[in-house]
Chains A and B, each alone.
Chain A
Amino acid sequence: DAKTTQPPSMDCAEGRAANLPCNHSTISGNEYVYWYRQIHSQGPQYIIHGLKNNETNEMASLIITEDRKSSTLILPHATLRDTAVYYCIVRGNNNAGNMLTFGGGTRLMVKP
């Protein structure tokens, strides 16, 4: 699975959009981009995933660049409850183990 690079931490003002970047320059054609988050001491929570088209759901939007080497998770109106560690994970069908490989993630702090 492709390696991902994320900034270790970011701040965001409450009510503003939070834009979390992820680099995955070695991604291959059949690999998806997944985003999870872990709010302090809780189990990780699935947010969204995509292959090459932009995706949106009730939680967030995922923007994937045309060359697929990077992506951005957008929380349109961040709240204090969005404070968490956000993980960008690239995953394909070619790994029989099917595990998720969590890197260091981005620690997002939403401030009042």
Chain B
Amino acid sequence: NAGVMQNPRHLVRRRGQEARLRCSPMKGHSHVYWYRQLPEEGLKFMVYLQKENIIDESGMPKERFSAEFPKEGPSILRIQQVVRGDSAAYFCASSPSGRVPTYEQYFGPGTRLTVT
């Protein structure tokens, strides 16, 4: 039973480039969440998606960030025109349901983005 998969594990981008982060949820999970962890800080929610739908993007920066979870394939977090402040660990989590109590979110290993 594979857990949540994220790739790449490490990503280096120059300022102004685009970053694409991928997340494959656990088998049978249709709910995906993205979180960001800045250096020495806690995790902050970014976006919650179900297949083909963005349910809650209240934590997403207003510009340059977008997310999708297509019918087929992984969820993608896309950051356009990256800046140094985007350097962080980006974690994806999945759950079988969005409702408590069957709500445990299982996290992937994260993608560490470094912007030079």
Give A residues with C-beta under 8 Å from B.
Answer: 32, 34, 38, 41-46, 49, 51, 87, 91-93, 96-105
Contacts and interface: CB of A to CB of B under 8 A. Distances in A.
Contact of B107 (A44, A92, A99): A44
The residue in A41, A43, A98 that gathers the most chain B C-beta atoms within 10 A of its C-beta is A43
A46 B56 contact: no
Interface of B: 4, 31, 33, 35, 42-45, 48, 55-56, 58-59, 89, 91, 93, 98-101, 103-110
B107 A97 contact: no
B56 A98 contact: yes
Given A91-B103, A93-B99, A97-B56, A44 B48 contact: no
Contacts of A98: 31, 33, 48, 55-56, 98-99, 103
Nearest to A100: B105
A97 B45 contact: yes
Nearest to A97: B56
A64 B66 CA distance: 39
Contacts, number: 69
Given A43-B4, A93-B100, A99 B45 contact: yes
Given A43-B91, A93-B99, A104-B42, A99 B56 contact: yes
Main secondary structure of the interface of A (DSSP, over half): loop
A11 B93 CA distance: 29
A91 B104 CA distance: 11
Contact of A49 (B56, B101, B108): B101
A98 B35 CA distance: 12
A104 B99 CA distance: 24
A98 B78 CA distance: 21
Contacts of A91: 100, 103
A49 B103 CA distance: 10
Nearest to B101: A32
A46 B105 contact: yes
Contacts of B43: 38, 44, 100, 102
